[in-house]
Chains A and B, each alone.
Chain A
Amino acid sequence: MSEFNEHINPIPHGQGDPNWQRLFDEASEMPPPRVWDAIERDLDREEEEQVIIVPFWGWYSTWRWSAAAAVALMLLGWWSLNIPAANPVSQVTPMASKQTSSEINSDLARNQTNESNALSRKPTKASQAITPENTDHLAQHRPIEPSKSTARTSERLAANGSAVRLSGADNREQLSLAQPELTSQPKVASVLQPEPPMNSSNQYIDDKPAQNTKPVSGEAIAGVSSSQSVTPKTVSGQPSIDGQIPEIVSSDIATANASSEMTVANLATRLVQLPAMHGTQRIVWFRPTETPIAPAELSAQKAGSEHWASVSVMPSSYNPLVSLQQATVMYSNAFAQNSTANPTLKSQADLSMAYQLSGGIQLSSRWSVETGVGYLEARSTVNSPVQTIVSSLFPSNRLSNLYADALNNSRVSDKQNSFLSNASLSVTPGKLGSPSASDPLINTNLYDIGRSQVLSNDYTFVQVPVQLGYQIRPRKRLGFTVLGGFLTNLFIHNNVNNQLSITNSDMVYRPVTLSASTGLRFRYRPTRRWSASMAGIFQQALQRGTRAGTDLTTRPQTIGVSVGLDYHF
């Protein structure tokens, strides 16, 4: 079972045993800590492996996020360009209100991972709220226990050779707060909200600043401001974005250190008294109301009634299998007297193209039905014996062969004007027993079986397929489906050698014919919505393609490979 399918597996439709379900429904047993350690190691390893960029991987989502990131970058750039030069530390009114205190009183808010996450998503919030009081506030009241992310961040800084000098644990803690961690956190519906400061025991404290405000070292503030885009160089030259903070820090450490005195001076002369420390943000889980029955029904209905639309093109070989009717042996009389062979027509397939728009419905996990409308441009050639004597009397561009003569004789318009047609204009020999027996050309037109002419036939059909599909590998990324059904062919016209056009009004071909269709389709479905399919199709006409009474018989066969693109609703 592939990983893709593990997330679209069906919701159970059985009932189960209520006794067993009741016993195990609330059963809970925490695994040993080593399990989480192993998970964390796996996640870190995945994070490192995700550096590889695969082109167009998840391109829709990638482009969407890229566009959002571009807009965010432009806004950040615009914001940085519009910062007043005399205001090195921008003062922002905290967004949080008192009412969030009750909301943030949850366990989820107390975890430091969330805080670093929130900082990584909006690093500017923390920087905007930092004042000497607040930085000291942070330094004092952040949880003292260093997290693994803090350690990793410090290691990365050390590895980058940055010359950050940290004055004590408080500064390191501040730096860790200022460093958004590069983690591939899953995107879950979340609400970003400010968070009041916490003391060392993770208790939320009063909004008032601490009374015993300690002086803040300049390096500590510089460490914060350099990573938080407070220094002028970082703001104007390299806007801070999520995921690039460590590099910016490493490249701008020297600048930050160099300008630390100036930053300290500005900070020292501009003491901003904020009523509360609302700089940090956190993620609050949003859990929708769990109504297990309704979603299960919806999902079941959705899984059972999946439908799709597809567009496909099928290069194929179309062979009409043209032949003369058995009763039409009169044409043999028109053959050369030294020939005893019956007249034969040889049709050969040529490249044809079928375009199709179709839709399908999944009836069950394996069965599906699909239909649509198609347009077939069928090309073939007919090898036909040519007339010898009469054809020499007429211009060379006139059709003068057995196939064309049979077609002409089959046309209603020709039959209605048989005398005129056959006697004066057409090179068609008359049929035995027909009024054209008095045709002066009868039996004078001889078909030379040794000479033949290749005539192109361009058929045009509108097709309406109805097919059943049986999936051999249901709900797999690469699925196989056996197809079988019927194909309704609506004849439009046939153009013979670009000289003779046969339409429905000529009453030669049946307007509607039925074909059987079968094939095997491979469908590759990399995403939930889109899939590509390739199918080998064989179609066989179930009835002759010409009307009764005509001299020709066709029973087309089509073999082709269809390539399509599908969208699943």
Chain B
Amino acid sequence: MQRQLYERFAGKLFVVSKRYTKDPNGAEDVLQDAFVKIYRYIDQFRFDCPLEAWLKRIVINTALKYLRTQQPWDQATDIDEVAPLISQEDLSLPTLNYQYLLALIQELPPGCRAVFNLFAIEGYSHPEIAEMLEISEGTSKSQYSRARTLLQHKLQMDGRSPEPRSTEHQR
């Protein structure tokens, strides 16, 4: 049964862990720790949400914990920096595969990467992110803007993104 659970969800969850970590070894460590926790606490799953969402949250929390142990948020060099350029452009993604974008995300600084994943992909709001990462809401917003700027810049450098448009996108 444990093996079935692993084989069924490990693929998706591995991508989630890779989004939060920079190198594959870290992603494997996160996935390993997350699955051990999943097996340990699966009896606490109340069926009040999809199982995949529950598993994903455990992986996310494990990844955040891993990042925190690697470099605490308050010691991170990037988390409290104000973004040099607050980008409000729409980050369009024309026919890109996830492997390419995953590589771009992994190149982001840890704080930017975590905030961008939590906000853009997981769908957390800035107050929720601030609480999860124990940072201020303004820091979360600035980190998200900085992540978008960096991604936009990399996409433009690779010639995969059109010129930025001036649309209000940030919440």
Instruction: Out of B31, B65, B92, B171, name the residue touching A19 (CB < 8 Å).
Output: B92
A327 contact set on B, CB distance < 8 A: none
Q: Which of A24, A185, A189 has the most CB of B within 10 A?
A: A24
- Interface flags, A113-132, vs B, CB<8A=1, else 0: 11001000000000000000
Interface of B, helix, strand, loop or mixed by DSSP: helix
Interface residues on A, range: 35 or more
Please tell me if the beta carbons of A12 and B128 are within 8 angstroms of each other in the complex. Answer: yes
Please tell me if the beta carbons of B10 and A30 are within 8 angstroms of each other in the complex. Answer: yes
A416 at the interface (CB under 8 A from B): no
Bound CA span A298–B50, Å? 13
Please tell me if the beta carbons of B62 and A39 are within 8 angstroms of each other in the complex. Answer: no
B166 at the interface (CB under 8 A from A): no
B161 to chain A, nearest CB (A): 12
Please tell me if the beta carbons of A188 and B42 are within 8 angstroms of each other in the complex. Answer: yes
A275 at the interface (CB under 8 A from B): no
- Using A113-B3, A295-B48 as known contacts, say yes or no to A39 and B101 having CB atoms under 8 A apart: no
Nearest chain B residue, comparing its CB with the CB of A5: B61
Bound CA span A361–B51, Å? 28
- Interface flags, B127-162, vs A, CB<8A=1, else 0: 010011000000000000000000000000000000
A145 at the interface (CB under 8 A from B): no
Please tell me if the beta carbons of A292 and B4 are within 8 angstroms of each other in the complex. Answer: no
Please tell me if the beta carbons of B3 and A36 are within 8 angstroms of each other in the complex. Answer: yes
Please tell me if the beta carbons of A29 and B11 are within 8 angstroms of each other in the complex. Answer: yes
B38 contact set on A, CB distance < 8 A: 186
B53 contact set on A, CB distance < 8 A: 11, 292
Please tell me if the beta carbons of A24 and B15 are within 8 angstroms of each other in the complex. Answer: yes
Please tell me if the beta carbons of B128 and A10 are within 8 angstroms of each other in the complex. Answer: yes
Instruction: Out of A1, A32, A111, A290, name the residue touching B61 (CB < 8 Å).
Output: A1
Please tell me if the beta carbons of A114 and B40 are within 8 angstroms of each other in the complex. Answer: no
A569 to chain B, nearest CB (A): 14
B75 at the interface (CB under 8 A from A): no
A296 at the interface (CB under 8 A from B): yes
Which of A220-228, A281-289, A315-323, A535-543 lies at the interface? A281-289
A residues 129-181 with Cβ under 8 Å of B? none
Instruction: Out of A9, A11, A16, A35, name the residue touching B31 (CB < 8 Å).
Output: A35
Please tell me if the beta carbons of B32 and A35 are within 8 angstroms of each other in the complex. Answer: yes
A305 to chain B, nearest CB (A): 14
Please tell me if the beta carbons of B171 and A14 are within 8 angstroms of each other in the complex. Answer: yes
Please tell me if the beta carbons of B125 and A35 are within 8 angstroms of each other in the complex. Answer: no
Please tell me if the beta carbons of B12 and A27 are within 8 angstroms of each other in the complex. Answer: yes
Nearest chain A residue, comparing its CB with the CB of B19: A24
B44 at the interface (CB under 8 A from A): yes
- Interface flags, A1-35, vs B, CB<8A=1, else 0: 10100110111111111011101101111111011
Bound CA span A108–B6, Å? 12
Bound CA span A32–B58, Å? 20
B102 contact set on A, CB distance < 8 A: 24, 27
Bound CA span A117–B4, Å? 13
Please tell me if the beta carbons of B124 and A12 are within 8 angstroms of each other in the complex. Answer: yes
Nearest chain B residue, comparing its CB with the CB of A188: B42
Bound CA span A30–B52, Å? 16
A365 at the interface (CB under 8 A from B): yes
Please tell me if the beta carbons of B65 and A1 are within 8 angstroms of each other in the complex. Answer: yes
A3 contact set on B, CB distance < 8 A: 37, 41
B53 to chain A, nearest CB (A): 7
Known: A19-B91, A31-B28. 15 other contacts (CB 8 A): A7-B41, A14-B119, A14-B125, A17-B91, A23-B96, A23-B101, A24-B121, A26-B12, A29-B18, A32-B28, A42-B36, A117-B1, A186-B39, A302-B48, A474-B131
Which are the 9 A-B pairs with shortest beta-carbon distances?
Answer: A28-B11, A16-B123, A186-B42, A14-B125, A12-B123, A17-B120, A6-B61, A27-B98, A12-B124
User: What is A's interface to B at a CB cutoff of 8 Å?
Assistant: 1, 3, 6-7, 9-17, 19-21, 23-24, 26-32, 34-36, 38-39, 42-43, 46, 107-108, 111, 113-114, 117, 184-189, 283, 285, 287-288, 290, 292, 295-296, 298-299, 302, 365, 474
Task: Enumerate 11 A-B pairs (CB-CB under 8 Å) in ascending A order.
Answer: A6-B37, A13-B128, A21-B120, A24-B98, A28-B11, A29-B15, A35-B10, A39-B35, A46-B40, A188-B45, A288-B47
